[in-house]
Structure 1
Amino acid sequence: MKRIATALLLLAAAGIATSSLAHDTKKKAGKSVAQPLVSFPAADLKWRELAGTGGIKVADVRGSITGKGPYDAFVIFPAGKDNPYHLHTQNLPTVVLKGTFYAVIDGKRIDYPAGSFYNLPANMPHYSGCAKGEDCLLFQYQADHFDLVQVEKK
C-alpha cells in the first residue's frame, strides 16, 4: 500500500513538472511546437548535496535550483533539519512526497505530511523544515531561481 501511495505521489509530481514544462511550448510562425519528452525515472535522477545546508540534497529535472531562470527539482531534507527564519522573493509551490515538512507562519506551525501541497507566497517570513523521524522528499518549482533570504526574528 505504501509503495502504491509513493508511486501515485511521484506520478503527481511528474504531472506538475509536465504542467510547468508545458509553459515552455515554443511558437513558430504562429503555431505551437511541442517540446521533446522530458523523462526522469527515479533511478536516473542525479542527486547532489547543497554545500553549507546541513545535508539538503537536490535533483534538478529542469534548469537548476541553484542557477538562474526557471527550475523544477526534487529536494531531500534530512529528518529534523530546520531552516532559520527567512523568506523567498517569489512564490514557492511545493509537493511533499515523503516525510512531514512544516512551516511556522505568524507563530502557527502547519504540518504538511506526504501527499500535501502548498504554495508559499513571496515575501512571507517563516520558519520551515522537516519533522524528526523520516527524511522529507519534496518537489519544488519556480519561474526563476530559488532564493532564501534570512530575516531578523520578530
Structure 2
Amino acid sequence: MKTASAILLSLNLISFPAADLKWVELPGTGGIKYANVRGNLTGKGPYEAFVLFPAGKDNPFHVHSHNLPTVVLKGTFYAVIDGKRVEYPAGSFYDLPAKLPHFSGCNKGEDCLLFQYQADHFDLVPVGQKK
C-alpha cells in the first residue's frame, strides 16, 4: 500500500507554501513583484504566478496579447474599461480578454495580492489614450 507522500510524489505534486515563494521585482514597475509557481511570468509559454502590487500602484493605459485570468487574494484591485471603473476586492475573479484597452491598479490602503495565469507569456503593451 502506498503512503500519502508516495502517492503525491507519483502525481508530480507542485507545492509552494507561502514561505517558499521566491519574489522577484519586475524592473521599471515601481515595486510590482511576482513569484512563479509554474512556468515563468517573464518567460515564454504558459505560467502561473502570484503578483504583488503596492497599495496605490497604477498601470498605464495598456493591453495584453492574451487573455489574463486573475484571482484577487488580498486588497482591492481595479480595472477601468471604456471609462467604467470596476473594483475587485479579495475573493474576486476576472478574465480580461486579449487586446482590451484598460487601466488597472491597486487601490490605496492595502497591497494587492493576485494570482494570474496565462496559456502564453505575460505582456503589458502601453497604448495611446483615447481623446
Question: Normalising by the residue count of structure 1, what TM-score does the alignment of the two structures yield?
Answer: 0.77
1:74 matched to which residue of 2? 50
2:63 matched to which residue of 1? 87
Task: Measure how far apart 1:100 and its partner are.
Answer: 0.2
Task: Measure how far apart 1:46 and its partner are.
Answer: 0.5
Q: What are the ranges of 5 or more consecutive residues in structure 1 without an aligned counterpart?
A: 1-33
1:102 matched to which residue of 2? 78
Cα RMSD for the two superposed structures: 0.9
The answer as to 2:115 corresponding to 1:139 is yes
- Secondary structure class of the residue paired with 2:71: strand
1:24 matched to which residue of 2? none
| Residue correspondence of structure 1 range 54-69 to structure 2 within 5 A | 54-69=30-45
Q: What are the ranges of 5 or more consecutive residues in structure 2 without an aligned counterpart?
A: 1-9
The answer as to 2:106 corresponding to 1:126 is no
User: Any idea what the Cα deviations from partners look like across 1:30-60, whole Å, max 9, x if unmatched?
Assistant: xxxx751100011110011111000000000
Matches of 1:119 and 1:93, distance apart in 2: 4
The answer as to 2:47 corresponding to 1:53 is no
1:44 to 4, 16, 20: 20
Question: Normalising by the residue count of structure 2, what TM-score does the alignment of the two structures yield?
Answer: 0.91
Matches of 1:150 and 1:35, distance apart in 2: 41
Select the structure that is richer in helix: 1
Matches of 1:86 and 1:51, distance apart in 2: 17
- Secondary structure class of the residue paired with 1:146: coil
Matches of 1:111 and 1:145, distance apart in 2: 25
Report the number of matched residues.
121
Task: Measure how far apart 1:127 and its partner are.
Answer: 0.1
Matches of 1:52 and 1:123, distance apart in 2: 22
Which amino acid in 2 is paired with 1:76? Answer: L
